[in-house]
Amino acid sequence: MFSYRGVFFITFVLLFCKSSSKLAPDYIKPCPGLKSECLKKNIQETIPYFVKGIPSLGINSTDPLFGEPVELDLPGGLKIKFSDGVIKGFRKCIVEHVKYEGLEAQLNLRCGLSLKGKYKASGRVLIFAINGDGDARIKSPNVSFSCKIKFEDRTREGVIYREIKDYKTTYSYDDKVSFQFTNLFKGSPELSATVLTFINENWKQVLDEFGKPITDKIVEIVFDIIKKFFQVIPRDELYVS
């Protein structure tokens, strides 16, 4: 026999299960028919929330974006190791263009980003052989990203997920990028300052040489987080016809 209390409990469980069956946060608003105008507006409005991450679903924050320590072997034999890396600014990215057709999406973003961390580096930068160990800051106030994303449907335990299968990103730095590195030459502040000035005066050339591997790494970290989102949120919560 059901007691009054038992009925209450069952009602509670049913209500709880119903409300928790939806995984997507309330700020995720699907766009009927994936119309570009709607996607542009909704993605723009979602960014400031999404960048905070969704810890309950294992989705990391993208602003601030915390990078694991990375070691990069850059052109010209420059070895650089970044740690305690933090990137800020993704929450203010402007959505310039979105198109979603079939299983392919095109997303263009314009962002102002700043990177902070510790670095160790040895090797050649332009004409200088550096041997540094200190703090690094890079500011890229106006970088545009163009992302082509391919999706595929995967079913797990009877639930369909539309996951990211593949992506390609190109980018351009549309305003001057500035570098602030301390201690580029261990123990020689004057030489360090001179070389830093030189690096900043030749920022375009520095980016031509080193921009790609560094930016690719950042894009990869961000996409790993976005991929996770599409792996845990069922397709039906994101797409409506």
Ligand X SMILES: *[C@@H]1O[C@H](CO)[C@@H](O)[C@H](O)[C@H]1NC(C)=O
Please state the φ and ψ torsions of residue 30, each to the nearest 5 degrees.
-65, 155
Size of the site for ligand X (CB under 6 A): 9
Which of these segments, 60-68, 129-137, 180-188, 197-205, binds ligand X (CB under 6 A)? 60-68
CB 207 → ligand X: shortest distance, Å? 15
What is the SS3 assignment for 203?
A: helix
CB 221 → ligand X: shortest distance, Å? 6
CB 96 → ligand X: shortest distance, Å? 10
Which of these segments, 82-90, 131-139, 177-185, 224-232, binds ligand X (CB under 6 A)? 224-232
DSSP 41-55: HHHHHHHHHHTT-BG
Q: Which of residues 78-137 bind ligand X (CB under 6 A)?
A: none
Please state the φ and ψ torsions of residue 99, each to the nearest 5 degrees.
-145, 135
Output 123 or 141, the one with its CB closest to ligand X: 141
CB 178 → ligand X: shortest distance, Å? 14
User: Residue number with the shortest CB distance to ligand X?
Assistant: 174
Output 27 or 66, the one with its CB closest to ligand X: 66
- Kindly tell me which residue out of 11, 66, 69, 84 binds ligand X, with binding defined by CB under 6 A: 66
Question: How many Å apart are CA 31 and CA 238, to the nearest integer?
Answer: 8
Q: Name, in order, each residue with C-beta under 8 angstroms of 110's C-beta and a sequence gap of 6 or more.
A: 93, 94, 96, 142, 143, 144, 145, 174
Which of these segments, 19-27, 185-193, 194-202, 220-228, binds ligand X (CB under 6 A)? 220-228
CB 47 → ligand X: shortest distance, Å? 16
Cα–Cα distances in Å, from 50 out to 6, 53, 91, 195, 215?
Answer: 39, 6, 8, 39, 21
Output 60 or 108, the one with its CB closest to ligand X: 60
225 binds ligand X (CB under 6 A): yes
Give the single-character DSSP code of 176: -
Question: How many Å apart are CA 51 and CA 194, to the nearest integer?
Answer: 37
How many helices and strands (H and E) does the chain possess?
5, 8
CB 49 → ligand X: shortest distance, Å? 18
With CA atoms as reference, report the closest residue to 171 among 120, 130, 110, 231. Answer: 110
- Kindly tell me which residue out of 152, 153, 166, 175 binds ligand X, with binding defined by CB under 6 A: 175
- Kindly tell me which residue out of 42, 60, 108, 178 binds ligand X, with binding defined by CB under 6 A: 60
